[in-house]
Structure 1
Amino acid sequence: MSVHVEQEPTTSAPVPVAALEVRGLVKHYPGVKALDGVDLVVRQHEVLGLAGENGAGKSTLLKALVGLVRPDAGEIYVRGELVKLRSVVEAADHGIGMVFQEQSLVPNLTAAENIVLGSEGAGVRRGIYRWEAMRRLAQEQLDKIGSHIDPLARTDTLSFADRQMVEIAKVLRIEQRSQHPPVIILDEPTSVLESKEIETLFEQIRRLREFASVVFVSHRLDEVLEVCDRVTVLRGGQSVGEVATAGAVPRELHRMMIGSTGSDDHYHENAAAPVQAEQPRLSVRGLSGRSFRDVDLDVAAGEIVAIVGVHGSGREDLCRALFGAEPTTAGEIRMDGKLLDLPGTRAACAAGIGYVPAERKTEGMVGPMSVAENMTLTKQKARCSGPLVAPRKQAALVDSWISRLSIRTPGRDTAIQRLSGGNQQKVVLARWLVGGDIRLLLLDHPTRGLDIGARSEVYRLMRELAGNGVATVLLADSLEEAIGMADRILVMNDGRVATEVACPNGGKPSPLDLVKEMV
């Protein structure tokens, strides 16, 4: 006789609703399919990394998530609810906020005004600012990220790194604005931060995970793996896979991003040219300026000299002074033995000096102008016959450099602002090459915001220029970049050159060797 035991029905635990979900997102631009059916899931209380080469669709996707771009097809769900995000305000009302790589601050307002803009609360009464209340509201956000910025300082007086910290503090105000657990998007938030500031930011991201979800975008794959729980990879406007960060390595993400394992010689050190050291191409003696003093510097033809230092060390102002963009108070600059007078940037260009600025969007290019116009801005003679522009001559010149540098653009007449960051940087670099008369190239963070593939292309071009005798001064984006690319490294500390370190192949210094002299 068998006994039937009635089983209780089994129930599975409900699957938590995703904080944010994207299904089949599509976006076309003229000649470009920026998004081609992208899927993305951001779980509650996680940090999701988003990786991909420049032009993979990351920026377009992020803009769609904060209401700046309207997709042509696809759906966006916030906590399971289908939403139409038609503006940044609507996105914020749903708890979605973003720290923009290109910054979105109003320069003539104070840091406090920018931080509370649109959600002033107690900071405004009857249409009148209550400055002390506004300062307290802003200070509360700045304290979260360990920033010592004066909330009442005008934003345009702050450094780029400090403005980035204001951006981060601003987006954290979404906690007060929305009734929902927020989704915070961080687009390249570490691109201009020093190591201590990066660690402070990572601590803040870990705090955010407790009550929010975070989308973290960085071209520094080691950062992505350190701070994220999962990584979704885009390639060619499509989602090509995801990987859990536990146990993952940068090479795995790189393979997914470009479809191959990539080169072991990331810095193209095997292509390093011998230095032509008969006479320094650039010779600087006792140069002093606003934030640097008594600087001596020699750079030979074909040599790459990197200058490293913490924020405020004076290296950025030194680089600008060598281009005539900052005044000097003492010292001399010689090029091939000839004393230079650099009252402005025009004189520097005439002397064969090129400069790629750190702030590409605001100083390195004119967004609405075409690729061709941006590429020939400083080399008018190269595109002219007599006093007039020769369209065919310009077209042939520009097309040759587009091909040579593998610039991905629908055409030479495309506005440069429509290109990805890596391709914009190639155009900015090409500007100094089209005339064929460049002797000294000043590179201020030339790989900032570029993916690993685009960085490698910039490094290859630097090696090629050095082989052609161009002297290069590099303000590197990281110590590893400086060590990998430089023949010599100068360490600046408090406006002075603290030490000089040789970087021969097979005898490279370690980052720790440099840090000891930087602080």
Structure 2
Amino acid sequence: MSNHAPIAPDASRSTAPVLAVRGLTKRYPGVLALDGMVLEVRPREVVGLIGENGAGKSTLLKSLVGLAQPDSGSIVVRGEEVRLRGVAHAASVGIGMVFQEQSLVPNISVAENILLGAEGAGVRGGLFRWHRMAELAQVQLDKIGSAVSPRARTDSLTFAQRQMVEVAKVLALEERTAHEPVVLLDEPTSVLEREEVETLFAQVRRLRERASVVFVSHRLDEVLEISDRVYVLRNGRVVAEVDPAEVDATDLHHLLVGRESTGSHYHDDAQQEPAGDVRLSVRELQTAGCDKVSFEIRSGEVLGVAGVQGSGREELCRALFGAMPGARGQVLLDGRPLRLDSPRAAVLAGVGYVPSERRTEGVVSSMSVTENLSMAHVGTVCRGPLIDGRRERELVDTWVRRLGIRTPSGDTAIGTLSGGNQQKVVLARWMVSEGLRLLILDHPTRGLDVGAKSEVYELIRELAASGCAVLLLSDTLEEALAMSHRVLVMKDGRITACLDAPRGGKPDPVAIMEAMV
């Protein structure tokens, strides 16, 4: 049984649904994304929505804001069937969304993003009134307790800060509609620290006083904590509707993937002690965010790096891949100096990198699975100066089968795949190379469901067993401890602790937290 206690529904309100989905079906080439989807959202409640990658969550949400047009079925808003023609149309009937893959315009201010398309008093006579724009945006930022300046350029913010701006942007819907809004939150906590999650949840509870909320998350404990009802999706259909007071995270996991959640989730038995020599040696590395960082990784070792947002761990990863201009220090890979001036030099030396922002840095959404998988090693599929199409297809088909990548074909645009399958393609890109010596994983399971995470963990174990060294940044401390042989802790750009994490002897999380903060 769950210990969570969601806010009781407002008995004074009508239970007639404010939003209803009736038999929604949506097909893409080779994929049935929605298969007769049916669900309801009632006034002033929080509805949790969970499902593995590819279960239909994203397609459903896109349909509810007019970004995808269903092939059949209907969407009913406050008793009237609507055919939503886009985000602006959805907003006009009171539906807004915080996107998992952020939708902010990077080269304009926070205020402009929050008020985009609904500037109101921020514009007079066709001219922006910048002071008034900042005031209007500040109202929304204050709702979530954000310290971000409305005048800041959006691309100067961290990923987590931009996520909170996304939330503030949707909250502005309250002032734009006469109806009680429906707010769709697609993985809003995926990059937030616990304190930021609590701030967001407080805002969701405040919203609930005059809005309905659909909350999508792969963090099952969060879904139980904040939701009044939870829908479980699988293969484009609702397979269960549950009361959070009557289930726990293990129950939800079983409904999601049809098996119990156990320690095998992290493939603990596959953790082997690294027997190789030092693969990477870092001495006095300095760059923006890192101050004289020194450590070593052995062949076959998974080294976790723990730290809060701004601790310097993300900058460390980017510096080692040659993506931080001005980085300096002594870095040796198998005893030879590793150039820090370009990603190309890192790749040629046998270093791979899986970035945290999959959509903007990990894949080219408009390109095919084949092109995304082979792009870092075009030379392996060339015959002379030209790409050998047959050799390339054989290579991709091999890795699609080996990793169980769910795609209609190698020619399918990678942007149409689920997040978990996109991530498998990004991992396969580096596993293709026989010369891979170090793989840097920056939050490799971010936004993935429990099943896809387990598959990624298995791949990490295989890579380590093959002798590859792995530098791992995790979304959770639990993941870092479970997957690593050792854990480095960073704070303010420096390493504050290094703890052994052998199988059966993981360190106390409290000790790590103390070193982090």
TM-score for both structures, normalised by structure 2 = 0.96
2:355 equivalent in structure 1: 357
Residue-by-residue CA offset, 1:371-420 (whole Å, 9 max, x unaligned)? 01110001112211222211111111110100000000000110100100
Contact 2:328 2:340 in 1 (8 A): no
Percentage identity across paired residues of the two chains: 59
The partner residue of 2:405 within 404, 407, 411 is 407
2:79 equivalent in structure 1: 80
Q: Output the amino acid matched with 2:510.
A: L
Q: Output the amino acid matched with 1:250.
A: A
2:499 equivalent in structure 1: 501
Label 1:221 to 1:111 Cα distance change in 2 as closer, same or farther (>3 A).
Answer: same
- Cα distance, 1:130 vs structure 2: 1.1
1:397 equivalent in structure 2: 395
Q: Output the amino acid matched with 1:283.
A: S
Contact 2:273 2:485 in 1 (8 A): no
Output aligned runs, 1:145-294, within 5 Å. 145-277=144-276, 279-294=277-292
Contact 1:287 1:328 in 2 (8 A): no
- Cα distance, 1:263 vs structure 2: 4.6
Rounded to whole Å, the distance in 1 between the matches of 2:226 and 2:436 is 41
Larger-gyration structure (1/2): 1
Output aligned runs, 1:337-352, within 5 Å. 337-352=335-350
Label 1:439 to 1:329 Cα distance change in 2 as closer, same or farther (>3 A).
Answer: closer
SS in 2 for 1:51: strand
| Aligned: 1:69 with 2:68 | yes
Rounded to whole Å, the distance in 2 between the matches of 1:221 and 1:291 is 33
SS in 1 for 2:167: helix
Rounded to whole Å, the distance in 1 between the matches of 2:14 and 2:315 is 54
Rounded to whole Å, the distance in 1 between the matches of 2:299 and 2:187 is 34
Contact 1:302 1:471 in 2 (8 A): yes
Q: Output the amino acid matched with 2:466.
A: N
Output aligned runs, 1:470-489, within 5 Å. 470-489=468-487
Q: Output the amino acid matched with 1:170.
A: K
Q: Output the amino acid matched with 1:134.
A: M
Q: Output the amino acid matched with 2:278.
A: P
Residue-by-residue CA offset, 1:83-104 (whole Å, 9 max, x unaligned)? 1111111110111000001111
Contact 1:382 1:434 in 2 (8 A): no
Q: Output the amino acid matched with 2:135.
A: R
Label 1:14 to 1:389 Cα distance change in 2 as closer, same or farther (>3 A).
Answer: closer
1:90 equivalent in structure 2: 89
Contact 2:25 2:37 in 1 (8 A): yes
1:10 equivalent in structure 2: none
- Cα distance, 1:274 vs structure 2: 2.1
Contact 1:283 1:333 in 2 (8 A): yes
Output aligned runs, 1:434-473, within 5 Å. 434-473=432-471
Runs of at least 5 residues in structure 1 that lack an aligned partner in the other structure: 1-12
Q: Output the amino acid matched with 1:322.
A: L
Q: Output the amino acid matched with 1:378.
A: A
- Cα distance, 1:493 vs structure 2: 0.4
Residue-by-residue CA offset, 1:164-185 (whole Å, 9 max, x unaligned)? 1110000001001110001000
When the two chains are superposed, the root-mean-square deviation of aligned CA atoms in Å is 1.2
2:5 equivalent in structure 1: none
- Cα distance, 1:119 vs structure 2: 1.4
Residue-by-residue CA offset, 1:206-262 (whole Å, 9 max, x unaligned)? 111111110000111111111111110110011111111114211211121123325
Q: Higher mean Cα deviation, 492-501 or 239-248?
A: 239-248
Rounded to whole Å, the distance in 2 between the matches of 1:137 and 1:514 is 41
2:53 equivalent in structure 1: 54
